[in-house]
Amino acid sequence: MSDLVDLLHEGIPPELVATDPDITAAYRQDMAGFCAAGAPAVVVHPTTVEQVQHVMRTATQLRVPVVPQGARTGLAGAANAIDGCIIVSLTRMNKILDINPVDRIAIAEPGVVNADLSRAVAQHGLTYPPDPSSWESCTIGGNIGTASGGLCCVKYGVTADYVLGLDVVLSDGRLLRTGRRTAKGVAGYDITRLFVGSEGTLGIVVQAVLALRPAPGLQLALAAEFPSAAAACDAVCAVMAGGHTPSVMELMDRTSIRAVNSLTNMGLPESTEALLLIASDGHDPAADLEAIGKLCRAAGASEVVPASDPTESELLLAARRMALPALERLGSATLIDDVALPRTQLAAMIDGVAAIADRFDVTIGVCAHAGDGNTHPVVAFDAADPAATARAHESFDAIMALGLELGGTITGEHGVGLLKKDWLARELGPVSLGIQQNIRAVFDPLGILNPGKVL
């Protein structure tokens, strides 16, 4: 321990290196429940690339594991500490280095908060579209690490679609620059994409070149009530097959609706089985929503209520953003799933989850990015009850198995981390898993970068 701290102090000011157990304990884990977390030996708060390089050279010399962290808003345990590790908290590397309205790029350090970047580029008439529900606190580095998504994915895509280039500190301290700052570029293998979603297992991102878009126009929303999840999913398929490109298309089941009402008193319709929230920011959003509303009614919607203005539209979408914190209040603990399906399988997934809830006698609320098939079943239970905890874990596994059976994937945006490591092997199969393990070994031959995570 003393050798480790002494070596770290050779390249990093002492005030950026914490060893007090009361301080380091606060960095043990992210927001995922029921994932193992160890006790870090030290927490480092680098402010420069050179300091991150020094950490990795020190870790390589002493063979000490390193766990990179952002805001620790992750939901898969990828940022959880390992006993004796160095935590590299990147939140103080939080500068927006450049915003270029001509090239439509931003250059940002990993600790920049997503919402702060969005507000900064908005001053130039631009937008950075990826908008995770935790956008007011999550960081760009964490978004890149988990390849995060958000409500606007259906139209604008996910984080991976906006990362043009990266500066990455490798396990031995070398600095790797990937990608480009140009609108086009196909020179060499696409190593940038390899790092997006790697959850800190291949290197530590210290700078990102991000693509921007012109700010969208006026956004309006509607709420459509359905007597069944199947009818709501029929509407989703009809909207997409009809050539519409909504900016948001979100689904909430009855459990989610009631949970949000309990938390916020928003007055959402509790008698409905499924609620679709659909927004458009096209050249004529009102006309677009009118056509979408007709499709919803044809699919069986009992009510279609358009918002009267952008403010009311934002209130509707705020209800969806509150779904996760609302569902978390239904029990002393939650297990949050993240299964993505082909849109045509959404109804089978939601009905299947309801059957799983009945089979295991647990409460499961489902909210979903319906436009891209990404469902978030949330299992709420009493962690003080061993039997309830066991049933919750069984239901969580049953949901992932159902997702794979329906042609889906075990994670659409939260990542693998510790929570879904065993399930990743089932999804990938031995050939793909072996190749990915070999790739990891190329970047981290000593196995010191976030060991035990993902693969």
Write out the DSSP string of 23-78.
HHGGGS--S-TT------SEEE---SHHHHHHHHHHHHHHT--EEEESS---SSST
Q: How high is the pLDDT of residue 33?
A: 79
Q: How high is the pLDDT of residue 133?
A: 84
Per-residue pLDDT tens over the stretch 240-250: 999 999 999 99
CATH fold of 220-405: Vanillyl-alcohol Oxidase; Chain A, domain 3 (3.40.462)
pTM: 0.94
Residue 288 confidence (pLDDT) above 90:
yes
- Phi and psi at residue 16, to the nearest 5°: -100, 5
Residue 279 to residue 246: CA distance in whole angstroms = 6
Per-residue pLDDT tens over the stretch 186-218: 999 999 999 999 999 999 999 999 999 999 999
Query: Rg of the Cα trace of the chain?
Result: 22
Q: How high is the pLDDT of residue 190?
A: 96
Confidence of residue 2 (pLDDT cuts 50, 70, 90): confident
Instruction: Give the distance from CA 32 to its chain's centroid.
Output: 12
CATH number corresponding to 2-89: 3.30.43.10
Cα distances from 10 to residues 4, 14, 57, 160, in angstroms, run: 10, 9, 12, 36
CATH 3.30.465.10 fits 96-214, yes or no: yes
Confidence of residue 76 (pLDDT cuts 50, 70, 90): very high
Average pLDDT, integer, range 105-114: 98
| Torsion sign across C-alpha atoms 194, 196, 197, 200 | positive
Residue 106 to residue 127: CA distance in whole angstroms = 10
In SS3 terms, 128-160 reads as CCCCCCCCCCCEHHHHHHHCCCCCCHHHHCCHH
Residue 353 confidence (pLDDT) above 90:
yes
Residue 419 to residue 79: CA distance in whole angstroms = 11
Here the tokens at position 209 are 């070149």
Residue 63 confidence (pLDDT) above 90:
yes
Q: Domain extents for the chain?
A: 2-89, 96-214, 220-405
Which strands form 42-44's sheet, in the order they lie side by side?
Answer: 17-18, 42-44, 86-89, 66-69
The residue type at 224: A
Residue 121 confidence (pLDDT) above 90:
yes
Residue 282 confidence (pLDDT) above 90:
no
Per-residue pLDDT tens over the stretch 407-444: 999 999 999 999 999 999 999 999 999 999 999 999 99
Q: How high is the pLDDT of residue 147?
A: 95
Per-residue pLDDT tens over the stretch 30-56: 999 789 999 999 999 999 999 999 999
Q: How much of the chain exceeds pLDDT 90, in percent? A: 92
Give yes or no on whether 96-214 and 220-405 have one common fold: no
Per-residue pLDDT tens over the stretch 290-343: 999 999 999 999 999 999 899 999 988 899 989 989 999 999 999 999 999 999
Instruction: Pick 314 or 356 by higher pLDDT.
Output: 356
Average pLDDT, integer, range 77-96: 98
Residue 192 to residue 106: CA distance in whole angstroms = 16
Round to the nearest angstrom and report the end-to-end CA distance of the chain. 28
Per-residue pLDDT tens over the stretch 140-165: 999 999 999 988 999 999 999 999 99
Confidence of residue 1 (pLDDT cuts 50, 70, 90): confident
Q: How high is the pLDDT of residue 308?
A: 86
**Average pLDDT across the chain, whole number:** 96
Q: How big is the CA angle at 178 (ends 175 and 182), to the nearest 5 degrees?
A: 135
Q: How high is the pLDDT of residue 384?
A: 94
Return the SS3 of 13.
coil
Q: How high is the pLDDT of residue 151?
A: 87
